Every structure is written in C-alpha cells, then in structure tokens.
Chains A and B, each alone.
Chain A
C-alpha cells in the first residue's frame, strides 16, 4: 500500500520536474540556423567540394591512385622536347599535358585521401558546399582546360611520336638482328 502511494507521488513529482524542464526551454533561445537566410561560416578545413588548381597539376596521377572510390579520371599527354609548360607554384617542372582531369562529385566520398599525396598541392577540398543539381551528370566536374581539338592534336602528336619511336626501336632491333645474322653468317663462313 505504501508502495502504491509512493508510486503515485513519484509519478506526479517526476512529471512536474520534466514539465519544468520543457517550460524553461519554452523561453530559451532556439539554436536553429535559418539555413538559406543565414549561412554558417565553415572552418577552412571543411571537406566539401574538390577543387583542382590546374596551373599546379603535373599530372602525376597520385590522387587518382589514392582515391578509394575511383572518382578521379586523369589523362595526360607527354609534352614535346622543346615545349615548356612552365612551373608549378612550388617550383616543380611540368612535363605532361593534363588533357583530362574529371572528378565525379557524385561518387566522391569526401575522404580527402587524394589531397595528401599531391606533390604540388594542386588538388584540395574547399568549404564550398552548395553544388547540388537536378542532374547527376552535372556533378562531373571537368578541370582540364584543353579543347577537344587541342587534345586530339596532342594525342595525334603523341601517337606519331610513339610510332616514330616504335619505328626507330624496330629499326634498331632490326639492325641489331641483321648484325647478329651477319655475325652468325661470318661465323658460319669462318667455320667452313
């Protein structure tokens, strides 16, 4: 019987305590941030959108290898011998045309693993977060500045260079072979 009345008393008392808490909060300031009207300043480390400073990119593909979800796609073309592509901001020489640097932010997992291996600090995550779109394909960000014609031209050149190289190598190989044959012949004749 005592327990019965104690329970009733406890129920009423604790309910009143709880109501006291909510009553106090009725008059405390809300913590809501009215988002589109008020925008919080994000800390500079915030990992939101990826950004690539193409002037600094040397096309080493370290970020592409580091990405756990394969959202970066880079294509490079070797620069010509007399061509000077300039230097990055930390003084590294650029030797490759980066003809394609695509990042699919729809796939990105925002881990920032790509940022750390970059030798020139070209790729980084920015606190920019408002890049939602209605179309998933517009989440594919293209950073390379080359036009398709330039790319095909460069690729053509590379192909030709490669062919020339291959031809040269083949010629070299052939020459070596012939020399070998000749030597063998010589040996044969000698032994005869």
Chain B
C-alpha cells in the first residue's frame, strides 16, 4: 500500500496530517470505489464498444437510438433494465449457492484490479508477488462458475459448469508458463518492477526481448487468456448454440448482470496483465511521447488488446471440447515449455 499512499500524499498533502488509521482507511475506501467505478464504467463502455464493433463488422449499425449519438446510452438503459427485471430463481435450485455464484465471479474479477499498475505511482497494492496474486485470485472465478452451474439444477448449466472448470483449470498452465518466461528474465513478480524493467523505448519491451521467443510467449499468453475468460473461440462454457446459455442459463436480472460485469472485467484484467508483462505497462513507446500520462498509455494498450479479443470473437467459430483440450495440452503447453527452455539456454550462454 505504500506507493499508493505516497501517490495520494502527493495529490493531497493534507492527508499526512491525519492519523495513520484514518488516512489508510480513507485512501483504501477511495481506491476501492475508484476501481469499482472504473470496472462498471469500463463494462458499460466495453459492451457498447462490442456491440458497435460487431455491428460494423457485420455491415450493420448497431444501437443507434438511445441517447442520440450512436446509441451511447444503450448499455446504461440495458443496465437499468437488468436492475429492475424480475429476479427468477428456479424452484429446485440450491438457493444459497445460486445467489453466491455471481458474487464470487465478480469479486474475483474485482480483486484482480488490486495489483494493476496504472502508472509509476498509482498502484493500489504493490505486492512483491503481484503476478502470482493476480493469477491465483482470478482462478477463483472458476469456483463461481461451477457453483452457478451446479446450483441452477439444469442439465445445460451443469454442462457449462463442467466445461468451464476443465477449461479454466487447463488453461491456467499455459498462461502461467508463458508469464514465467518473462519472470525468469526480469527476476521479479512485482507488477511495478516488471514495468520499470522495461523502461526505454518500444524495443525494450518484453515482447521484443529475446526476439522472437517472448513474442511467441506473448501470443501463447494471449490465446490462453482468451480461454481463461471464456471468449470466442473458447466460449464453450456459454456456447449458446449448444448449451443454450451454459452456466448462466437460469440467471436473470442483476445476477446475470454480475456475470456479465465479471466477464468484461476479466477481459480487461487479462489484457492489463499482458500490457504490464509484455507491452511495457504505462510506458510510452518512444521518449518523445512521454508527455502523455502513463494511465492513458496503460488503458490504451489494454483497450487495444480488448479490441482484438472482440475482433476475434466476431470472426471465429467455436472449438469443440476435445479440440479445446488438444489446443491446450498439445500445442500451447509444449510450446511454452520450449520457450522457457530456450530462454534459459539463451541466458546461460
């Protein structure tokens, strides 16, 4: 919490006059609210963006009415609609688990934001094992999905949950291995220091390190992270043409919205990790562009990756379960092992 405290201290010097407990509480609460606000805003924006991108990729216009300019208020209207809709819980569902599941999914997504380095100074918690933390916290989501699918007492939901569990657990491995390739070189797992190690210009970013080895690692990470957040072509847990709606078949109103929020927050988190680890975090690609503040670079890079995720989603069909496992265990995992091995060799030589 120290860098965050400093950051607030710089902004509002009077905080240092407060007693320590008060200052810490206030800073903590404000940060959480900021992040929560960001997640909600980002989700709304991303939903709008996704609808617009998909529409234009399909020669459509997408939402055009609500709010005037290109239907910018459509996601807000949708959110309000979801809020006021009737909350339906199936009669035979396990009510406690059913209610808990979306909360867990969303919490897991939100917790990941704690270690994202937005800029040199603004990082809610600069853990020395930040990367490890984010990986472990984000895999909490699978418990939520499993609970939701099980508790719905619907066979399609159960299928979705089972698929989600096997998929997310499998894809943890290539994700972790791909990141390991970088950590080996950087020698740190602190998100902040990972970025600081990449200072310089664009060629100092990790993705161009040991060219092309880390580039391949970046690619592996990106593909595996798509599976981590259940995006096409790996959206089997939802798979609306096969499993109706997968694990969230029975969810409606705000509980469904939480799953939705969680999905979009996760999209952002995996993109942000990729940005931090491979694409130089808040750093500008060239010295000349340093006048643009760090957070803008950070969010901009992450949003580019989010855009690519959407782009892929509206281009590709869905894989089958066995092909999904094949991709993970027979393609991504061996390749990431090979990269770790090669980088190790490179470093030794």
Contact = CB atoms under 8 A, between A and B. Distances in A.
Interface in B294-324: 311-312, 314-316
Q: Among the interface residues A8, A19, A28, which one has the most CB atoms of the partner chain B within 10 A?
A: A19
Nearest to A23: B311
A30 B314 contact: no
Contact of B60 (A15, A19, A23, A32): A32
A46 B331 CA distance: 57
A18 B56 contact: no
A25 interface: yes
A30 B55 contact: yes
B57 A30 contact: no
Contacts of A22: 57, 311, 314-315
A13 to B, nearest CB: 13
B341 interface: no
Contacts, number: 38
Q: Which applies to chain A's interface (DSSP): helix, strand, loop or mixed?
A: helix
Contacts of B61: 30, 32, 34
B58 interface: yes
Contacts of A29: 59
B64 interface: yes
B331 A8 contact: yes
A23 B59 CA distance: 11
B57 A25 contact: yes
Interface in B47-71: 53, 55-61, 64
B315 A19 contact: yes
A26 B56 contact: yes
B60 to A, nearest CB: 5
B315 A26 contact: no
Given A8-B331, A18-B316, A26-B53, A31 B311 contact: no
Interface string A8-41: 1000000100110111011111111010000000
Contacts of B316: 15, 18
A27 B60 CA distance: 11
A161 to B, nearest CB: 61
For chain A, which range describes its interface: under 10, 10 to 19, 20 to 34, or 35 or more residues?
Answer: 10 to 19
Given A25-B57, A26-B57, A30-B56, A19 B331 contact: no
A19 B58 CA distance: 12
Nearest to B58: A25
A25 B56 contact: yes
B315 A25 contact: no
A122 to B, nearest CB: 41
Contacts of A19: 311-312, 315
A137 B250 CA distance: 37
Contact of A21 (B60, B64, B315): B315
A23 B311 CA distance: 8
A31 B59 contact: yes
B64 to A, nearest CB: 6
A26 B311 CA distance: 10
A25 B59 CA distance: 6
A15 B315 contact: yes
Contacts of B58: 25
Interface in B119-138: none
Nearest to A28: B59
Contacts of A8: 331
A22 to B, nearest CB: 4
Contacts of A27: 56
Nearest to B334: A4
Contacts of B59: 25, 28-32
A109 B263 CA distance: 45
B331 to A, nearest CB: 6
B319 to A, nearest CB: 10
Nearest to A34: B64
Contacts of A34: 61, 64
Nearest to A20: B315
Given A15-B312, A25-B58, 14 more contacts: A8-B331, A18-B315, A19-B312, A23-B57, A23-B311, A25-B57, A25-B59, A26-B56, A26-B57, A28-B59, A30-B56, A31-B59, A32-B60, A34-B64
18 contacts: A8-B331, A15-B312, A15-B316, A18-B315, A19-B315, A21-B315, A25-B56, A25-B58, A25-B59, A28-B59, A29-B59, A30-B59, A30-B60, A31-B59, A32-B59, A32-B60, A32-B61, A34-B61
| 4 closest cross-chain pairs (CB), A and B | A22-B57, A32-B61, A18-B315, A22-B315
